[in-house]
Amino acid sequence: MLQKESVKVLDVRPALSQSYMDSSEKQKALYKRTLFVVSISQIFGGAGLAAGVTVGALLAQQMLGTNAFAGLPSALFTLGSAGAALFVGRLSQRFGRRTGLTAGFMIGGLGAIGVIIAAIINSIFLLFASLLVYGAGTATNLQARYAGTDLANPKQRATAISMTMVFTTFGAVAGPNLVNVMGNFALSIGVPSLAGPFILAAAAYILAGVVLFTMLRPDPLVIARMIESTNIKSRDHLATTEQTESKRGIVVGATIMVLTQIVMVAIMTMTPVHMRHHGHDLGSVGLVIGFHIGAMYLPSLVTGVLVDKLGRTVMAIASGVTLLFAGLLSAFAPGDSMVLLVIALSLLGLGWNFGLISGTALIVDSTKTSTRAKTQGKVDVLIALSGAAGGAMSGMIVAGSSYLTLSFIGGIFSLLLIPVVIWSRREK
């Protein structure tokens, strides 16, 4: 039985919706169109999220004059993304993906504008408040991966997730590598150079919202929910189409993503500060972070196929092992070695990619369309909060000890993924 909050969207344009319900060919066409539209929005969304990752810690360090709180920007925009994930999930549940994702990207764009203003007037309070709002773009960019799965069959869900994520690479890699360009542009218009990437972020997030608002029609979640509702009412299809919710699957999928998020955010956040301490310029920082973000998203097409073919469990274990190597290499690589830092951060991104796609596929497998968006929003809240904790603790660990200690702890912590997935298999 569908929840009341989802009924409102089921009555929108019934004739159009019915045409999709009656035609499997139209459903396939809508599935492909949805992947295309979401992929385009992900290009802009990727460019938007790269700003905070690349220069957020450096901006805070410059304004505060200390390293102890350099991880705070990452903590703030990931904390903001937690609230936004819940908001976008509930909005999508009630009105569809188009409304939820559009609102999230627009709010993220406003947050990026706030960061620019904070840098101009040198206001720490406004910076922190704006970073919270900016986090909405991060949450929305992440939740967009679910839109591609709404009309996907069970054997292609991970592939659908990966197809939307891979397009994030184009914007996410371009963003960090435009740090110097945007910094120079910012200086030319009287804005501090470190705020330059947030100019790009503001434009990118707003454009992503515009793309989704104008092109994501009809809404894939609305159509998928109507199809499920009709099939459940049909006695002939009840035995084959009704999907049950698996709480254990949701817990395991969420745990995989939470652990990978903590490790990835903690090490990634302090890498720019670590590099600056060893004499690397802003362009080098952008290059390393560009490789890192590229590794987070570019392997997605292959990862999705592997998750669908080899299984969620195998790829979750691969995530833990990859993150272990990333942490150890980050810990023991010489600070002045660009090559080793690029490899370490690329492995960090790849391990996160394995964990996110396998965990996301588990969440989709374990939910019903009638409650899926709200559940996905709740899970992404946990992911965002874990990222906030990782970002906040990273600066304190480095200030109290070293980057080596942070990376080593992160690598060892990632091994917790293995007992989690072993437990999930034993319970079956």
Q: What is the dihedral of CA 182, 185, 191, 197, to 10 degrees?
A: -10
In order of their start, the domains of the chain are: 11-426 (1.20.1250.20)
Rounded Cα distance between 139 and 77, Å, is 9
Rounded Cα distance between 93 and 79, Å, is 22
Let me know: does 313 contact 424? Beta carbons within 8 Å. Answer: yes
Helices (H), 65-154: 72-95, 97-121, 124-147
For the stretch 274-313, pLDDT in tens is 898 888 887 888 889 888 988 988 898 899 999 999 999 8
For the whole model, what pTM was predicted? 0.76
Q: Which amino acid is at 122?
A: N
For the stretch 302-350, pLDDT in tens is 999 999 999 998 999 999 999 999 999 999 988 888 999 999 999 999 9
Q: Looking at residue 405, what is its pLDDT?
A: 92
For the stretch 91-137, pLDDT in tens is 998 899 999 999 999 999 999 999 999 999 988 889 889 989 998 99
- Answer whether residue 380 shows pLDDT above 60: yes
Let me know: does 221 contact 89? Beta carbons within 8 Å. Answer: no
